[in-house]
A and B are shown apart, each in its own frame.
Chain A
Amino acid sequence: MPEPISPKAETGNGVPLVEMRGISKAYPGCLANDSIDLKLHSGGVHALLGENGAGKSTLVKILYGLLASDSGEIHWQGEPVHISSPAVARELGIAMVFQHFSLFDSLNVLENIALGMDVDADDALEQRISDVSTRYGLPLDPRRSVYSLSVGERQRIEIVRCLLQDPRLLIMDEPTSVLTPAEVSELFATLKRLAEEGMAILYISHKLEEIRQLCDEATILRLGRKVAEADPRAESARSLASLMMGSEVPLMQAKRQADVGEVLLALDELSLPAVDNHDIALKNLHLQVRAGQIVGIAGVAGNGQDELLQALSGERRLAQAEALTLCGEAVGRQGAALRRQKGLCCVPEERLGHAAVPSLSLSENAFLTAHHRKSLGFSWFTSASRSRRFAREIIERFNVQCHGPQSLASSLSGGNLQKFIVGREILQAPRVLVVSQPTWGVDAGAALAIHEALRELADQGAAVLMISQDLDELMQNCEYIGALCAGRLSDFHRVQDITVQQVGLLMGGEQLSGVEA
């Protein structure tokens, strides 16, 4: 049992607020944390930096009491504690904002906060919410229903919920992955304010620029080990990246194509009604993608990206055949199999369950979308040997780390599975490739490989449409960029003629004036 410790005990100078010593945690088949040390001081913003699978989440879950470590100890203000559950963590003064929110859509802000804290949704709580939200610049109307709020506003609810508990340590797990640039700067202002008031903040991310802006200390993890402690302000993004990945990172520079290729993919007045209230209706989308081009669609998640991918792939058919033209042929009313036969391949955002079947092997997953274009069977029959050969080709060409074609899709790490899926579509030599969030949750090395492969595909004369929330990715790889907001597409602009801030405006649904489209 934990020693009873007053959460409000004063910290003497120099004694860290939290110290984790020699934390180890093994899962079957992998050592997620290998004797990791971490020190957090009050008033500091500490970055926990690492690629996916480096062990960041595991370490934080141990600190928040969601996981028990196999060995190692945690000291709170110099005294050993045993954090056996999140309740114990909260008792000490640790609060955490998760990457995925746990909010009830149909309740309002006040009710959601009350539920999370197990108190009544009364006027007193409402007053406390408004106090906290005005004090820290987190505007929030307690009586608004959650379903009507943007992702940024939802995150504010989670932060306010944490702040109401008067925490000494606030843990933020990849908080900016769902925010627009404007929302990110608001969040950073709030976090800096909290740190100035003496709170310790543990900031988990793999976005290097952010960390250099915000944090004053960084602990870098790689493959479950702590590889370095660094001052992010004294390092360059490149040096941080090489610490994180363990090797020098080649700098990638896309070469820009002129508008000479023929139009391979055209959307003309493409509309798609919403089928239920979680759906975003697509309204009158116009877009052309030429051979040799990569065109990017930015936007915050939940603005119709998923619906757009389904409308393009053919999972949902369109009412008008002419709304979608593929290599000059109107295909809007055709289904997914036929569109793929005609050269339109897609990579959906969700890897497991949409792009691949988790319980099937890689060779079966290779067969899944490639059986027609790669002739992996004979009319009604499947060919296991041809599927295996194609899967092996993908694994070798895209350097997928796995046991072989017989490995289950679910046994691969996110980055490796993504390389496999992107590779499966690229090796089918599509005329048009639509990729959604191609490097979402993928480590930097795999992301680089995926970007290079997409670039190469475009150079060979395919049209590539990239839907992403990651602005850096879009700015680096695309010729043209636009944004999807509430089911509508903005105008598209040449990447050279537009700034990240302007793309941020497009993501918010505003039109730019004075920029050549």
Chain B
Amino acid sequence: MIALQRRADPSRLMGYLAPLLALGITLLAGLMLFAILGVPVGAAFYAFFIEPVSSLYGWAELGVKAAPLIIIAVALSIGFRAQVWNIGAEGQLILGGITGAAVALMFHQNDGWYVLPLMVLAGIAGGMAWAAIPALLKTRFNVNEILTSLMLTYVAVLLLSWLVSGPMRDPDGFNFPESRMFHDAALLPRILEGTRLHAGAMVAVGVVLAGWILLTRTLLGFALRVNGAAPRAGAHAGFSQPKLIWTALMIGGGCAGLAGLFEVAGPIGQLLPSISPGYGFTAIIVAFLGRLHPVGVLFAGLIMALSYLGGESAQITLSLPLAVTGVFQGMLLFFLLATDVLINYRVVFK
């Protein structure tokens, strides 16, 4: 018989191995799925995992997709460590896109160097403002932030679609629900000629470093971790819980807003009815796959970005539905949660 036996101490090794194990099982299950669908397994594997990164352009695209995931997931990890469950990063991302775009459109006849920095500030402020609603409701009325932040995402989606078909629509755009294309001063500089890789990728690396220092070296990071692990001990030490909830949501909202601004000012270059393929939600998986640790998130973000690219490539070369991406992401989270059992338990054969 196989039984699970509780470990005396949580295994550190398994903490690192579980995500790799989950990745391996996801890969196997995915290939089995392809086999059942009647797709040649070798070709599917190649299309999904190799083809997307077989060129410099592919690697650049990986960076384009990974940057928003990493920026958001690092911020979410900080909140999750504090047991502040901000599930609405997607909505905060959209708001950041909207406010950033509003600045770009306001200055569309202006080539000043300050346009882009203003957009960045506006994007961050937009995301924070959206996250401030759950923060206020949580600290004032003890409303569960999971529900409010998630539901506000759908409000944000509708707000965006109203704006692009109304107030922010391109006056010369034949009534298409799109904004004006941004002018050069409102676009992110590219860091690799001939690709779409933009300055956001460098910011993502900076966010990883900043998040790492915050969590491991600062009083604020310590207070957030204590609040997550034992809230009463945090109160005993004198850390204010409402302040920590606000801080966690502002970090999450600000970073999601920044990522949203990078999308509209980077690869998209205008405001569209949809500006994100669910980065805000996928970032939740990235955060957990990366063990809520900024460096882990960096690697997890690259892997999840590959699942987006692989899905697109499989759609083109094997005409598989794009839902394959979602299936892979879902399986990965599922298997990760399952393999996490091994951190606290060992398998014994009796």
Contact = CB atoms under 8 A, between A and B. Distances in A.
B222 A315 contact: no
A29 B219 contact: no
Given A357-B233, A360-B226, A337 B238 contact: yes
A360 B235 contact: no
B3 interface: no
B236 interface: yes
The 9 A-B pairs of least Cβ separation, nearest first, read: A337-B238, A336-B238, A28-B8, A29-B8, A357-B230, A354-B232, A353-B230, A357-B233, A315-B235
Given A336-B237, A380-B219, A360 B7 contact: no
Contacts of A381: 217-219
Contacts of B217: 381-382
B229 interface: yes
B219 A315 contact: no
A335 B238 CA distance: 7
Interface in B226-275: 226, 229-230, 232-233, 235-240
Contacts of A337: 237-239
Contacts of A348: 236
A444 to B, nearest CB: 26
9 contacts: A28-B5, A335-B240, A336-B235, A336-B236, A350-B232, A354-B232, A358-B230, A382-B217, A382-B222
A408 interface: yes
Is chain A's binding surface mostly helix, strand, loop or mixed?
mixed
Q: How large is the interface on A (under 10, 10 to 19, 20 to 34, 35 or more residues)?
A: 35 or more
Interface in A333-359: 335-340, 346, 348, 350, 352-359
A357 B219 contact: no
Contacts of A368: 226, 233, 237
A176 interface: no
Interface string B209-227: 0000000011111100110
Interface in A360-397: 360, 364, 367-369, 371, 377, 380-382
A335 B225 CA distance: 20
Contacts of A367: 222
A314 interface: yes
Interface in B23-48: none
Given A28-B8, A337-B238, 9 more contacts: A28-B7, A315-B235, A336-B235, A336-B238, A339-B238, A340-B238, A354-B232, A357-B229, A360-B226
Contacts of B220: 380
Contact of A314 (B6, B226, B238): B238
A377 B217 CA distance: 9
Contacts of B230: 352-354, 356-359
Contacts, number: 71
A357 B226 contact: yes
Contacts of B5: 28
Contacts of A346: 236
B9 interface: yes
A340 B236 CA distance: 10
Contacts of B226: 357, 360, 368
Contacts of A360: 225-226, 229
A408 B235 CA distance: 20
Interface of A: 27-29, 313-315, 335-340, 346, 348, 350, 352-360, 364, 367-369, 371, 377, 380-382, 408, 411
A337 B222 CA distance: 15
Contacts of A338: 238
Contacts of B222: 364, 367, 382
A336 B234 CA distance: 10
Nearest to A372: B238
Interface string B109-135: 000000000000000000000000000
A69 B9 CA distance: 22
Nearest to B221: A382
Nearest to A407: B9
Contacts of B232: 350, 353-354
A369 B236 contact: yes
A313 B9 contact: no
Contact of A358 (B6, B229, B236, B237): B229
A368 B225 CA distance: 11
B240 A28 contact: no
A369 B8 contact: no
Chain B CB count within 10 A is highest, among A313, A357, A358, A360, for A357
A315 B221 CA distance: 20
Nearest to A368: B237
A408 B9 contact: yes
Contacts of A352: 230
B142 to A, nearest CB: 12
A382 to B, nearest CB: 6
A356 B226 CA distance: 9
A27 B236 CA distance: 33
Contacts of A313: 236
A268 B225 CA distance: 36
A280 B331 CA distance: 49
Contacts of A354: 230, 232-233, 236
Contacts of A371: 219
Chain A CB count within 10 A is highest, among B218, B226, B233, B236, for B236
Contacts of A350: 232
B81 to A, nearest CB: 11
Contacts of A377: 219
B342 to A, nearest CB: 15
Contacts of B235: 315, 336
Chain A CB count within 10 A is highest, among B5, B6, B218, B222, for B222
A405 to B, nearest CB: 15
Contacts of A29: 8
B9 A411 contact: yes
Contacts of A353: 230, 232-233
Nearest to A336: B238
A340 B237 CA distance: 9
A26 B226 CA distance: 32
A377 B222 CA distance: 11
B236 to A, nearest CB: 6
A354 B229 CA distance: 11
A488 B220 CA distance: 38
A367 B232 CA distance: 16
A467 to B, nearest CB: 15
A309 B219 CA distance: 25
Nearest to A356: B233
A442 B266 CA distance: 62
Contact of A27 (B8, B219, B237): B8
Nearest to B227: A357
A382 B225 CA distance: 13
A357 B220 CA distance: 16
B216 to A, nearest CB: 8
A411 B9 CA distance: 8
